[in-house]
Amino acid sequence: MISTLLIFGLLAQATPAVPVYGDLPPVASQPGTTWMPPQASAEAVNVDNTFYFIYWVSVIFFILIVALMIYFVLRYRQRRAGELAAGAATHHTTLELTWSAVPLILVVIMFVMGFRGFMDMVTPVRDALQIRVQGQKWNWIFMYPNGAVSAELHLPPKVPVQLTLESADVIHSLWIPAFRIKRDAVPGRYNKMVLKDGVVLPGEYLALCAEYCGTQHSNMAARVVVHESFDSYQRWLADAADLFKTRTPAEVGAFLVKTRCGGCHTVTGAKHIGPPLNEVYDHDVPLATGEKVRGDDNYIRESIIEPRAKVVAGYDPVMPTFKGQLKDRDIAAIIDYLKELSEKKQ
């Protein structure tokens, strides 16, 4: 066991500090500890303390038991052929009380540490920053109180945060290793996840999906950006709430396509889960029914609102609807961008 642990320890150190998941840009993360990602939240410290307590108790008992076992095997082995075993022991009250009481105390300590940490993560806090998180095949969407919606989770430092999780289709699970928090996003109910003291270490981290949810489960990752200051977070939030203030519609469209559609569609002509988006506008799109449809404004709008109405030949009908998630102005911006993409190519 010890050697396995050592090998894992060495592997953990040999792994590059900047993991790349799917099409996600490299995450410039803070350095982690030997075994764990960085401790970016107060919860991370609690979780690690509990983990290391259990870990060292296991190591100490492993060494104790194996050493005693080897000693007893040698000490009480059969020395001569035909030698009979010594009489079986009956009982030893002090010894029995000790080996019952010590483990009992240890597991009670483990329970209290774990239970306190768990309660901290699910008990709502007054004045926490409220962010809604929606999981869907296969991306995360974060919704802020001022109406901003983003594919990255942005947080200010040292402010209590409450994430409310929901799912548009199947069970997903939001897992942010650097914060040591994980909770399921279940369709039809809201699950809460609380960071009582907020995030303590500014930087960029990964959020992953920890519940198998289909073919692209392993690519269902999002970037978590913890700002250096509350001001910097608020500036980002104000900008994210009104994308159109500083951008042309086509630029907003490019941003939306990248963040909301990029998990399944490319704009380079390469096939992915869905068809490439640079070959839609003003193109004849072959459908699964054998018919063809002209890629115009109406077809694009319909494909966003009701994706399974006209499924493109060669692809599975797996796209979720974006009805209610994208406003009319957003859809118009996406159409502008797709038009621009298709014109550029000709």
Residues that bind ligand CUA (CB under 6 A): 135, 138, 172, 209, 211-213, 217, 220
Are the CB atoms for 129 and 161 separated by under 8 Å?
yes
Neighbours of 341 (CB within 10 A): 21
* Residue placing its CB nearer to ligand CUA in the complex, 172 or 260: 172
Distance CA 198, CA 40 (A): 9
Report which of 178, 227, 229, 183 is spatially closest to residue 206, judged by C-alpha positions. 178
Least distance (Å) between residue 214 CB and ligand CUA: 7
Least distance (Å) between residue 76 CB and ligand CUA: 53
Tokens of 177: 């290793």
Tokens of 98: 């000790």
Least distance (Å) between residue 226 CB and ligand CUA: 23
* Residue placing its CB nearer to ligand CUA in the complex, 29 or 139: 139
Least distance (Å) between residue 173 CB and ligand CUA: 7
Cis peptide before 99 (omega within 30 of 0): no
- CA distances to 130, 170, 263, 297, 305 from 268, rounded to whole Å, are 37, 29, 14, 20, 23
Start-end of H helices in 278-327: 297-305
Least distance (Å) between residue 220 CB and ligand CUA: 4
Least distance (Å) between residue 251 CB and ligand CUA: 29
Distance CA 172, CA 174 (A): 7
* Residue placing its CB nearer to ligand CUA in the complex, 135 or 156: 135
Least distance (Å) between residue 59 CB and ligand CUA: 33
* Strand 153-155 to 222-226 pairing: parallel
* Strand 161-167 to 172-176 pairing: unpaired
* Residue placing its CB nearer to ligand CUA in the complex, 135 or 157: 135
* Residue placing its CB nearer to ligand CUA in the complex, 213 or 252: 213
- Partners of 171 in the β-ladder: none
* Residue placing its CB nearer to ligand CUA in the complex, 30 or 259: 259
* Residue placing its CB nearer to ligand CUA in the complex, 159 or 170: 170
> Angle 93-122/42-75 helices, nearest 10 degrees?
160
